[in-house]
Amino acid sequence: MDVNLLAIVFVAILANNIVLSQFLGICPYLGVSNRLETSMGMGMAVIFVMTMSAVVTWVIDTFLLVPFDLIYLRTITFILVIAGLVQLVETVLKKTNPTLFRAMGIYLPLITTNCTILGVALLNVQAGYNIIQTIVYAIATGIGFTLALVIMAGIRERLELANVSSYLRGAAVSLVTAGILSLAFMGFKGMMTL
């Protein structure tokens, strides 16, 4: 693997984690991270849709928006592409693989409003990545998102068994935990940046 690709992977997963360093996708991060099973399901769905949407938006940006000087339509185009892709994936899964559809079904509509998907598409074109770098960045960012979800879910499951003050139960302890995790992941920023 190219050194540049390794740097993209490291930075996307740890140093610039989409949730804990760039603060995108906080809603699903706090809302879906109650159980390990749900966080893994959401993470896998995000990796899949994020990679697909990153590739499609890169192609549209490279071959349509930039050549015809329509860059001002980038955000709305990417939103429409992501929503369309999620609907397409949902329909195809429903027809071809009902078991996988039932497993991912509840997460697919949530992904439409997940700002990490749009964020990755925009970050890819702003960084000027080629198609290989775009795919690597999308997959690595999805892995970083999943890692943050799974860590938070594990901590929240343990916190349910802990003797936590009644003033901190629920959202308060989740926000404090998210802040501490964010500080821990920001420790990787000194190692490498893009």
Residue 101: count of CB within 10 angstroms of its CB: 17
Radius of gyration of the chain (CA): 18
* 33 vs 153 pLDDT, higher one: 153
CA separation (Å) from 40 to 8, 74, 133, 157, 174?
Answer: 23, 30, 25, 14, 18
Grade residue 171 by pLDDT with cuts at 50, 70 and 90. confident
114 CB-near residues (< 8 Å, 6+ apart): 25, 27, 28, 46
Please state the rounded mean pLDDT for residues 38-59: 90
What pTM was computed for the model?
0.88
Q: Distance between alpha carbon 159 and the CA centroid of its chain, in Å? A: 24
**Cα end-to-end span (Å), the chain:** 17
The pLDDT score that the predictor gives to residue 3 is 59
* 65 vs 3 pLDDT, higher one: 65
Range in 5-9, 32-36, 75-79, 129-133 with the lowest mean pLDDT:
32-36
Please state the rounded mean pLDDT for residues 105-123: 82
Over pLDDT 90: what percentage of the chain?
50
Burial class (CB in 10 A: 0-12, 13-18, 19+), 32: buried
